[in-house]
Structure 1
């Protein structure tokens, strides 16, 4: 049986909802409250599965109380009870399980309880452990991380862009989102577009039976990483680990993991202007990791492994002549002279076409000495 409380400053509404929930046989109404602050104090000391909140109350409103409850216990399910339909989108925007229009009915409560039972966070429901998985390198792909790996489809390109922007920012104000994604619209229309677009993202994630990682409170929106798997977040953590433990035992292992994650430029093909500079920064960080791994292998005498990383750098930045010199030296050292010569001529044509210059003379000299 679900443990619940009801919070509403209207005694008749409390009485009606309490009766319907009790008669359902599925809910144990532990207490009812006319004061939201008293309800919050009770919730801090007593485990609850679900809270039925009126939106418009004195002291603090239902939306503010829901945020406090979630801070205390992120698994508490919130159902808003309201006489105002205008709050419907806002309820979902705050990641509520459902909203009920007053006067509530037994039939409508039954549908709400069905939704509660289907949520993985409710005790007694088996968790299959799927997570919302997002891939942002080399495009954008969304899917459930489980055996089926079901792809998620969003409603429109704008819903994709908003989701990508939220993941990129981590935490961001509504005003910054509007300035970036809806700068040409009137403020009122822009806010409506943001709310509706956010709703469709939540809806797609909910329909896939996944925990929603997008949270909102007042003027801010943020992404909780614990509810999702994202290649960008994992890549950033690996970069940080390498920086903090350079020279450590796991350095090469972390770089290898980062290499597996970096499948291509961030959000490749999407054309998001706000992502361009950040994408270039990530590419520079990736190249730094590749060079670090290459030089570690070179110092250890592992020439083939070092060459692998230097070749990877040149695919991203073919004008790096210092890396070109290292690659040519390694081609020669492991007996691949023809590849060294062919690479030199390719580099010569590239530099002439792009910069009107010739390769570093040391590269040609290295080849001449080897041929002798």
Structure 2
């Protein structure tokens, strides 16, 4: 059963669509909105399988809203509903599942739901390829037992990693990044042959599911591949936008970050993203630690703060939090030990002493 939303500024249109979906027997819940911004806020905190969007709406049109919903959850299917058929081409360019003309009939809605059922049915079988970008680069063919896939050469690995990271990228940008020293024609030939070897390694069927190679652009289809990076970014977005994040979300996101992004691969184009992802991971750990402080769970907070210090040992503010938590738990010896470690590290690395506020806290604790 599916979870749907209807967004339309016309009450009669909402009523008709809601009735058709209710009578179909395939929709578990259906929430309706006349204000697109309210629909977007709802989707930030609630899973949505399919969104029926009117294209022509004041304040925020359906095309723009579809982009916002896809940013929140790329698995949400979009169905545009409008009285004007000149929007059809734009709708399908926006990767909509379907396009309905008002007034929508039961027969036409049945066709849309059939498309949705078939797509969801194939997706339920799971992606054909699993890709891991944290801690290195690893490809696995999905099945009862994951089978590791080995790519032909370092350049083949780099192209695949670049495509997975960018998700959608022009052929021009690819050759400028990976074959910048070659003439354009030769670089494009290298791109085509390298892409061929990727397809050969993955397998024609699996590659067709996840790599969409057009004349000007190559993109990765989310439905054909599972990727730790994509899931990590999705969870981060979910945690940031939710009024009350879940402890499970923090655990899941932490488990996905199994090491530095593309560890062991010295790709110049990836260096900025490597730093950004590590910063986001540290922000996630800090948010998780403070989340558990609010729940009065200091032991869990200590673990998250400890993970931060493994990555950035001279974070004085985090060391101060650890010292404070140890003190509250009656573990003064460990509080003093944490201070001594910080003091030694700052002296060795920066030639400085801890922040006066930390010194004062320790002095008061000793008195």
Same fold (TM over 0.5): yes
Pairwise CA distance, 1:207: 6.7
Alignment of 1:101-120 (within 5 A): none
261-270 or 343-352, larger mean C-alpha shift: 343-352
Is structure 2 residue 169 aligned with structure 1 residue 151? no
Pairwise CA distance, 1:341: 2.1
- Offset from partner CA, 1:2-39 (integer Å, 9 cap, x none): xxxxxxxxxxxxxxxxxxxxxxxxxxxxxxxxxxxxxx
- Offset from partner CA, 1:212-232 (integer Å, 9 cap, x none): 411111111000011011000
Instruction: Please give the alpha-carbon distance, in whole angstroms, between the structure 2 residues aligned to 1:129 and 1:256.
Output: 23
Partner of 1:116: none
Is structure 2 residue 248 aligned with structure 1 residue 262? no
Partner of 1:353: 348
Pairwise CA distance, 1:144: 2.0
Alignment of 1:235-254 (within 5 A): 235-245=232-242, 247-248=243-244, 250-254=245-249
Alignment of 1:150-299 (within 5 A): 150-206=147-203, 212-245=209-242, 247-248=243-244, 250-299=245-294
- Offset from partner CA, 1:57-84 (integer Å, 9 cap, x none): xxxxxxxxxxx9xx899xxxxxxxxxxx
8 Å contact kept, 2:199–2:207 = no
Pairwise CA distance, 1:283: 1.4
- Offset from partner CA, 1:116-167 (integer Å, 9 cap, x none): xxxxx9xxx9x97562001001111111233311100000011111001001
Partner of 2:135: 138
* 3-state SS of paired residue (2:149): coil
8 Å contact kept, 1:291–1:313 = yes
Pairwise CA distance, 1:300: 2.2
Partner of 1:362: 357
Please say which structure displays the higher CA radius of gyration: 1
**TM value normalised by structure 1:** 0.63
Pair 343,271 (structure 1): closer, same or farther in 2 beyond 3 Å: same
Partner of 1:306: 301
Instruction: Please give the alpha-carbon distance, in whole angstroms, between the structure 2 residues aligned to 1:201 and 1:337.
Output: 57
8 Å contact kept, 2:209–2:223 = no
Instruction: Please give the alpha-carbon distance, in whole angstroms, between the structure 2 residues aligned to 1:211 and 1:356.
Output: 57
**TM value normalised by structure 2:** 0.63
8 Å contact kept, 1:144–1:208 = no
Pairwise CA distance, 1:211: 5.2
- Offset from partner CA, 1:162-201 (integer Å, 9 cap, x none): 0010011111011100111110112121111100000000
8 Å contact kept, 1:202–1:212 = no
* 3-state SS of paired residue (1:142): strand
* 3-state SS of paired residue (1:134): strand
8 Å contact kept, 1:170–1:222 = yes
Given the alignment, which residue of 331, 334, 337 partners 1:339? 334
Pair 188,211 (structure 1): closer, same or farther in 2 beyond 3 Å: closer
- Offset from partner CA, 1:221-244 (integer Å, 9 cap, x none): 000011011000001111111121
Name structure 1 gaps, 5 residues minimum.
1-67, 74-120
* 3-state SS of paired residue (1:369): helix
